[in-house]
Chain A
Amino acid sequence: MSGIPIRLEACSKTFDDGTRALHPVDLSIAAGETIVLLGPSGCGKTTTLRIIAGLESPDAGGRVLFGTDDVTAVPIEKRNVGMVFQSYALFPNMTVAGNIEYGLKVRGMAAADRAARVREMLAMMRIEPLAQRRIDQLSGGQRQRVALARAIAPRPRVLLLDEPLTALDAKLREDLRGEIDRLLRSLAITSVYVTHDQAEAMALGDRIAVMSHGRIAQIGSPQDIYFAPADAFVADFIGTMNRVRGAAADGRLRFAGGWLPLPAGAVAGVAAAAATAPACLTDVMFRPEDLHLVDAAAAQFAGTVLSSFFLGDHTRLTLDAGGEAPLVARVQQRRRFDGGDTVHCAVDPQAVLALRPAAT
């Protein structure tokens, strides 16, 4: 099985009541690539997936291409896509093998070929012992493995997964996430995966498209998205971000607790603004793991511990550094922190981000 590239050209979606679910989106997905559409509910990720599936048609002018085929007007059952949804939608009164075989039967595959393909799918999903079980005898995780096998069995050109793990509990979610990752890599099938869970997105996506208000806010590798978020929305949505407001001058951002280094790229713009408005207030952001505890002499700012949670491999601190909101730090010192302790902090210049506000 190998994938084909997918291209969306100016695909927008306006519902009959005038709601704009999706602003014109252009998106190219490479053959065999796994792309994750990530965002909060209402961001347009599911609408995008449904347009690729053929469950929704884009507004006039939008085009969906599978390779060189324009499939915009092709109905879902002719697009040859495999789909996995949050709800399993398996026949409860049929066996596991029967459920996997169903789609092959519908497509008119001969009995011997069907049996061979079902065996192959059972092996691939490591569920051979379950072949003759009924669906209502399976756990949620086992059911979702069957749903994956069923979707893949007819050798679809594209695999679409809509929040497939959302209904499962945390531990199972992690196991199955690993399983899906292994599967997508070994099949090299072009896949689109919709989720609101950033950990899933980071683990599975070759690239992640972070969506907000019907637009793609940023698209890139998990590393791009995490280390170089395009705007404050992306930064806030992926992982935890500390935000500090202060006055920028001389390459530093001064605030109540002390100062932070301004990132090199931001200095020019901020300095120019500062020239015209001397008390220019600006926001910068940094990740909890980029806050380091240092000696008082080397400190950029000081903070008071508000709370500390020892989590084994690290300690999560919330600090009052005189800013509007407390700061979160993820530190690995082997010591105990108590509320009221004073800690001395520094952040590397390259870890500080000066971001444009989120697009609205």
Chain B
Amino acid sequence: MLLCQISDTHIKAGRKKAYGIVDTATMLERCVRQILALPQRPDAVIATGDLVDFGRPDEYGLLRELLSPLTMPLYLMMGNHDARDGLRESFPDHPYLRQWAPFVQYVIDEHPLRIVALDTVIPMQGGGELCAERLGWLDRTLSARADAPTVVALHHPPFVTGIGHMDRIGLKGADALAQVIARHPQVERVIAGHLHRPITQRFAGTVASTCPSPAHQVALDIARDAADNYVLEPPGFQLHWWNGRALVSHTAYVGEFAGPYPFRVDGQLID
């Protein structure tokens, strides 16, 4: 089971550039092409929030078009830039978006790796939250299949990254989430977005990670007063490979790179 994670695509209507600079539509097209050209076809794609920039229907319309070449199951999640009703109305053929209300939380049971998606959004705010209602749903959902290897996905990572301006719009309720996750050792991983960078931390007896964006990345500056900047480092996505025993995660970069080149000629390392 190969689960592809994309995150923070920030699509704007009419292919408008994000912040006047980032051509997020074209960058997502490249990412989608690269996913489809992978030597191993992912079994599913999960998009961990900030799908569009302002939660507008015309943005979701373009997102739908840009993601349409993906023929494998696609799971969309809420981020702080998304709107619950807008997402549901624009993707009426994605029934999992209606598993719960008001929060867009859902569980997908049709793969060897169980996918549980959370909604951390507080409308009109950058930061996120997991309240008792959302965590109660999670606890019940995880209890229902204690034997199923599970990945829990949420937009806001449940840990402090050190990048001050992002931590200030971090997740409320991370400790309570840790208590729930710790009760369910079948959780192989907690995956998140929001940070536009690959970051990992030990969390509640498992690993929590974030995913790069196929568009812009948050500048790497591990400081409380780090400037609120983004950079155009190589865009990326992640592949989470469930091999039946463990979840192994690879970060892939989108772009044209030189190679591949051989290491060896006639079985000998090239000197």
Q: Which size bracket describes the interface of B in this complex?
A: 20 to 34
A98-122: contact bitstring with B at CB < 8 Å (1 yes, 0 no)? 1000100010000000000000000
Known: A75-B90, A76-B90. A94 touches B101 (CB 8 A): yes
- How far apart are the CA atoms of A85 and B61 in the complex, in Å? 20
Known: A93-B100, A94-B101. A76 touches B61 (CB 8 A): yes
Tell me whether B173 is interfacial, beta carbon within 8 Å.
Answer: no
Residues in B whose Cβ lies below 8 Å from that of A77:
57, 60-61, 86, 89-90
Contact B57 A78 (CB under 8 A): yes
Interface of B, helix, strand, loop or mixed by DSSP: helix
Q: Taking the nearest CB of chain A, how far is it from the CB of B189, in angstroms?
A: 26
Contact A102 B101 (CB under 8 A): yes
Residues in A whose Cβ lies below 8 Å from that of B65:
57
Tell me whether B252 is interfacial, beta carbon within 8 Å.
Answer: no
Contact B100 A85 (CB under 8 A): no
B183-211: contact bitstring with A at CB < 8 Å (1 yes, 0 no)? 00000000000000000000000000000
Tell me whether A230 is interfacial, beta carbon within 8 Å.
Answer: no
Q: Which size bracket describes the interface of A in this complex?
A: 20 to 34
Q: Taking the nearest CB of chain A, how far is it from the CB of B260, in angstroms?
A: 24
Contact of A75 among B57, B69, B88, B99 (CB under 8 A): B57
Tell me whether A55 is interfacial, beta carbon within 8 Å.
Answer: yes
Contact A83 B101 (CB under 8 A): no
- How far apart are the CA atoms of A77 and B88 in the complex, in Å? 10
B26-51: contact bitstring with A at CB < 8 Å (1 yes, 0 no)? 00000000001000000000000000
Known: A76-B90, A76-B92. A91 touches B69 (CB 8 A): no
Contact A91 B98 (CB under 8 A): yes
- How far apart are the CA atoms of A89 and B104 in the complex, in Å? 13
Tell me whether B147 is interfacial, beta carbon within 8 Å.
Answer: no
Residues in A whose Cβ lies below 8 Å from that of B58:
75
Tell me whether B93 is interfacial, beta carbon within 8 Å.
Answer: yes
- How far apart are the CA atoms of A160 and B89 in the complex, in Å? 15
- How far apart are the CA atoms of A53 and B89 in the complex, in Å? 12
Q: In this complex, what residue of A is CB-closest to B86? A: A77
Contact A106 B85 (CB under 8 A): yes
Contact B93 A85 (CB under 8 A): yes
- How far apart are the CA atoms of A90 and B95 in the complex, in Å? 8
A48-66: contact bitstring with B at CB < 8 Å (1 yes, 0 no)? 0010010111000000000
Contact B89 A106 (CB under 8 A): yes
Q: Taking the nearest CB of chain B, how far is it from the CB of A37, in angstroms?
A: 16
Residues in B whose Cβ lies below 8 Å from that of A88:
95
- How far apart are the CA atoms of A78 and B92 in the complex, in Å? 13
Tell me whether A313 is interfacial, beta carbon within 8 Å.
Answer: no
Residues in A whose Cβ lies below 8 Å from that of B86:
77
Known: A92-B100, A93-B101. A85 touches B95 (CB 8 A): yes
- How far apart are the CA atoms of A56 and B88 in the complex, in Å? 16
Residues in A whose Cβ lies below 8 Å from that of B100:
91-93
Contact A75 B36 (CB under 8 A): no
Tell me whether A16 is interfacial, beta carbon within 8 Å.
Answer: yes
Tell me whether A87 is interfacial, beta carbon within 8 Å.
Answer: yes
Q: In this complex, what residue of A is CB-closest to B62? A: A75
Residues in A whose Cβ lies below 8 Å from that of B179:
none
Q: Taking the nearest CB of chain B, how far is it from the CB of A194, in angstroms?
A: 12
Contact of A92 among B69, B71, B89, B99 (CB under 8 A): B99
Q: Taking the nearest CB of chain A, how far is it from the CB of B67, in angstroms?
A: 11
Contact B95 A89 (CB under 8 A): yes
Contact A16 B95 (CB under 8 A): no
Most chain A beta carbons < 10 A, residue from B58, B60, B85: B85
- How far apart are the CA atoms of A106 and B98 in the complex, in Å? 14
Contact B101 A16 (CB under 8 A): no
Residues in B whose Cβ lies below 8 Å from that of A57:
65
Tell me whether B251 is interfacial, beta carbon within 8 Å.
Answer: no
Q: In this complex, what residue of B is CB-closest to A91? A: B101
Which residues B49-96 have CB closer than 8 A to chain A?
Answer: 57-58, 60-61, 64-65, 68-69, 71, 85-86, 88-90, 92-93, 95
- How far apart are the CA atoms of A43 and B69 in the complex, in Å? 19
Q: In this complex, what residue of A is CB-closest to B94? A: A89
Contact A89 B90 (CB under 8 A): no
Contact B92 A83 (CB under 8 A): yes
Residues in A whose Cβ lies below 8 Å from that of B98:
89-91
Q: Taking the nearest CB of chain A, how far is it from the CB of B96, in angstroms?
A: 8
Q: Taking the nearest CB of chain B, how far is it from the CB of A113, in angstroms?
A: 18
Residues in A whose Cβ lies below 8 Å from that of B95:
85, 87-89
Q: In this complex, what residue of B is CB-closest to A89? A: B95
Residues in B whose Cβ lies below 8 Å from that of A83:
92-93
Q: In this complex, what residue of A is CB-closest to B90? A: A77
Residues in A whose Cβ lies below 8 Å from that of B97:
89
Residues in A whose Cβ lies below 8 Å from that of B89:
76-77, 106
Listed A/B pairs (10) with beta-carbon separation below 8 Å: A15-B69, A16-B36, A57-B65, A75-B57, A75-B60, A76-B89, A85-B93, A85-B95, A94-B101, A106-B89
Known: A78-B57, A89-B95, A91-B99. 13 other contacts (CB 8 A): A16-B68, A75-B64, A76-B61, A76-B90, A76-B92, A77-B57, A77-B60, A83-B93, A85-B92, A89-B97, A90-B98, A98-B101, A106-B88
6 A-B pairs with the lowest CB-CB distances in the bound complex, closest first? A75-B61, A89-B95, A16-B69, A91-B101, A77-B89, A106-B85
